[in-house]
């Protein structure tokens, strides 16, 4: 009478094993997909530097941003078309709460990092001729808040992080693979932003911290939702500070 119970329990445990579990294989999420990801990342950096010189100024920013999203999204879509890592795209209420809290804390940490050296962090503001927000500001803010965090997290904490874990785990073991993947994805995240546009040392430190926290969240939960929410809140608070700083300047 107890055998069916054991079988049912075994099947339930198998269903609950996410991609993080040792020995779980995600078909198509190995070295080849990582190669496509690096190609997409390289293309996005080239686009950032080339498109503004090719297209007229009014259309260049929107075209550049769209092409960057596309270059990062293609490896993501390719991976998801092959197989969805079990549990990666799940969303829990705790993910939203943790993301909200950590996004705000990271924004506060950003201000503290900017103030290292004893010089208070300057209030961010846009330089405009009339002191008002640019006409396309709200479109940029919406895109930077709602689209960019999703695309970047699916790329860096999805394709890159998951792919590295799956490639390194058979070679180094679960824990070293997780540590290396989190560190590598965070480093690549910061370096990619530095190559795309000039950044201060404080900006790079904040980006690396954001990448590290996002990686730890993804590895510890097996879900990417906490990292996405955290990134979204971090970007949203940045735009909010720009609005206040510009209007008060």
Per-residue pLDDT of the chain (249 residues; tens, 9 = 90+): 445 545 544 444 444 689 999 889 999 998 999 999 999 999 999 999 999 888 888 888 889 999 999 999 999 999 999 999 999 999 999 999 999 999 999 999 998 898 776 666 666 777 665 667 787 889 999 999 999 999 999 999 999 999 999 999 999 999 999 999 999 999 999 999 999 988 888 999 999 999 999 999 999 999 999 999 999 999 999 999 988 888 776
Backbone angles phi, psi at 94, to 5 degrees: -65, -30
The CA distance from 78 to 86, in Å, is 16
- For the chain, the structural domain boundaries read 86-248
The CA distance from 141 to 194, in Å, is 20
Neighbours of 156 (CB within 10 A): 26
């Amino acid at each position: 009478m107890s055998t069916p119970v054991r079988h049912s329990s075994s099947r339930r445990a198998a269903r609950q094993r996410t991609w993080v579990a040792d020995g779980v294989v995600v078909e198509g999420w190995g070295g080849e997909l990582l190669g496509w990801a690096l190609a997409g990342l390289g293309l996005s950096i080239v686009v950032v530097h080339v498109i503004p010189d090719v297209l007229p100024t009014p259309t260049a920013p929107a075209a550049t941003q769209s092409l960057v999203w596309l270059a990062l999204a293609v490896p993501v879509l390719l991976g998801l078309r092959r197989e969805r890592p079990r549990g990666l795209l799940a969303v829990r209420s705790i993910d939203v709460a943790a993301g909200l809290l950590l996004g705000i804390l990271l924004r506060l940490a950003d201000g503290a990092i900017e103030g290292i050296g004893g010089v208070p962090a300057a209030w961010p503001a846009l330089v405009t001729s009339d002191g008002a927000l640019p006409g396309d500001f709200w479109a940029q803010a919406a895109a930077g808040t709602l689209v960019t965090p999703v695309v970047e997290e699916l790329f860096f904490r999805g394709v890159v992080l998951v792919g590295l874990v799956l490639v390194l785990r058979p070679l180094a073991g679960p824990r070293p693979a997780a540590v290396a993947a989190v560190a590598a994805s965070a480093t690549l995240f910061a370096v990619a932003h530095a190559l795309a546009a000039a950044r201060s040392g404080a900006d790079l430190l904040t980006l690396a911290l954001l990448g590290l926290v996002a990686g730890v969240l993804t590895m510890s939960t097996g879900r990417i939702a906490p990292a996405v929410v955290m990134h979204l809140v971090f970007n949203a608070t940045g735009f909010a500070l720009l609005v206040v700083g510009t209007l008060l300047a």
